């Protein structure tokens, strides 16, 4: 047992020595090239701020609907529907707000998960606000989560389409439904491939 512990400690020391050796030359340049993605993630943070402004604008259009009939008509016209009832208009506006929030969640997943996976560790271990999924995120899990988020966004758009079906053609509704089904099939395929790869790597170990 002592020999086994000594062997493990020796192996750990060797691994730490290899990790402590700095990269030089071309390998160092290639490894440092990952920082070229940093402006992309900073740009997504700016896009997140734009969505916050958009959410506030949408909310400012929703609140006056409660007491202003003109606001109800203007909002219905902006949505491209006939103001059949206040409930329908409010429902569509709320779905638009949910749509903004879900896209914002998608941005957060890409920014945090992508940076952690492809650029540098965030060192959030033990932080009380660390997202639950970040502790076991990798490229495959990130793809599955992104595909699931896209399905959620597509579902909101499809629900808005069915609510305002009177102002849309059957061809438009059919295409949106087919696109939504394509998203679902793509997500299932990604999840299945990830599961097969995970089971294959588990059998090798």
Q: Does residue 31 form part of some domain?
A: no
Q: Does residue 177 form part of some domain?
A: yes
> Considering all CA atoms of the chain, what is the largest pairwise distance in Å, rounded to the nearest integer?
83
> According to DSSP H, which parts of the chain are helical?
2-20, 25-32, 38-62, 69-79, 86-108, 114, 139-163, 170-204
Residue 151 contacts residue 106 (beta carbons within 8 Å): no
> How many domains in the chain?
1
Distance between CA atoms of 173 and 179, rounded to whole angstroms?
10
Write the pLDDT tens digit of every residue in 74-94: 776 666 665 566 777 778 888
pLDDT-based confidence at residue 184 (cuts at 50, 70, 90)? very high
Top-confidence residue, 38 or 14: 38
pLDDT higher than 50, residue 1: no
Distance between CA atoms of 24 and 17, rounded to whole angstroms?
15
- Specify the pLDDT at position 122: 81
Give the predicted TM-score (pTM) of the model. 0.70
> How would DSSP label each residue in 11-60?
HHHHHHHHHHSPP-HHHHHHHHGGGGGHHHHHHHHHHHHHHHHHHHHHHH
Q: Does residue 12 form part of some domain?
A: no
Q: Does residue 11 form part of some domain?
A: no
Length of the chain: 205
Q: Does residue 21 form part of some domain?
A: no
Q: Does residue 15 form part of some domain?
A: no
Top-confidence residue, 101 or 79: 101
Distance between CA atoms of 49 and 108, rounded to whole angstroms?
11
Write the pLDDT tens digit of every residue in 46-82: 999 999 999 998 888 888 877 777 776 777 666 666 5
Q: Which domain holds residue 52?
A: 36-199
Q: Does residue 8 form part of some domain?
A: no
Distance between CA atoms of 141 and 187, rounded to whole angstroms?
11
Q: Does residue 141 form part of some domain?
A: yes
Tokens for 29, please give them.
Answer: 């340049």
For residues 138-148, average pLDDT:
79
pLDDT higher than 80, residue 112: yes
């Amino acid at each position: 047992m002592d020999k086994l512990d000594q062997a493990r400690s020796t192996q750990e020391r060797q691994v730490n020595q290899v990790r402590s050796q700095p990269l030089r030359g071309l390998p160092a340049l290639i490894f440092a090239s990952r920082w070229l993605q940093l402006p992309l993630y900073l740009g997504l943070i700016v896009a997140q701020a734009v969505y916050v402004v958009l959410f506030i604008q949408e909310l400012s259009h929703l609140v006056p609907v409660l007491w202003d009939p003109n606001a109800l008509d203007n909002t219905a016209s902006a949505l491209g529907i006939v103001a059949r009832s206040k409930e329908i208009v409010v429902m569509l506006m709320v779905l638009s707000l949910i749509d903004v929030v879900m896209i914002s969640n998608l941005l957060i997943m890409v920014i945090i998960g992508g940076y952690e996976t492809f650029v540098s560790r965030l060192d959030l271990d033990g932080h009380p606000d660390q997202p639950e999924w970040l502790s076991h995120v990798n490229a495959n899990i990130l793809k599955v989560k992104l595909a699931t988020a896209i399905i959620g966004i597509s579902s909101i758009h499809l629900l808005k389409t069915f609510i305002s079906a009177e102002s849309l053609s059957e061809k438009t509704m059919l295409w949106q439904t087919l696109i939504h089904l394509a998203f679902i099939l793509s997500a299932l395929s990604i999840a299945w491939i990830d599961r097969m790869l995970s089971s294959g790597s588990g059998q090798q170990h």
